[in-house]
């Protein structure tokens, strides 16, 4: 191995910890088609994620009208319902997510630290 290759490897190793600093929050939102509360929950959650998580999130939207068995298997009986999948601890919120403070608390964030 040449000295140049060894130096290149050291540079790559030095960069790798920087990429793992951001924790990605994985969320799953269960909605019922285009119902008013479901539409509002989607809009509210997208606004919260953009403002407070700034791209460090993964959002999956599950329409229970299209995937009823998945909703039942996941234990979802009411929509809209938000599940924080990771990082631990997991949490669930039911409703249109209009109370930003409650959503942030469930996500393990607080409005002062997140902004």
Domains along the chain with CATH numbers: 23-114 (3.40.30.10)
Is pTM beyond 0.85? Reply is: no
Give residue-wise pLDDT tens across range 69-99: 999 999 999 999 999 998 888 889 999 999 9
How many other CB atoms sit within 10 Å of the CB of residue 82? 24
Mean pLDDT of 53-57: 87
Q: Contact at 8 Å (CB) between 87 and 33? A: no
């Amino acid at each position: 191995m040449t000295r140049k290759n060894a130096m290149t490897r050291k540079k790559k190793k030095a960069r790798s910890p920087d990429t793992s600093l951001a924790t990605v929050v994985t969320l799953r939102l269960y909605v019922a088609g285009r119902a008013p509360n479901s539409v509002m929950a989607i809009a509210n959650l997208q606004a919260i994620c953009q403002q407070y998580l700034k791209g460090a999130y993964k959002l999956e939207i599950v329409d229970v009208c299209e995937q009823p068995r998945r909703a039942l298997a996941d234990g979802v009986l009411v929509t809209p319902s938000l599940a924080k999948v990771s990082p631990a601890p997991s949490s669930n919120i039911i409703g249109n997510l209009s109370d930003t403070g409650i959503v942030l608390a469930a996500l393990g964030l607080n409005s002062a630290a997140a902004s």
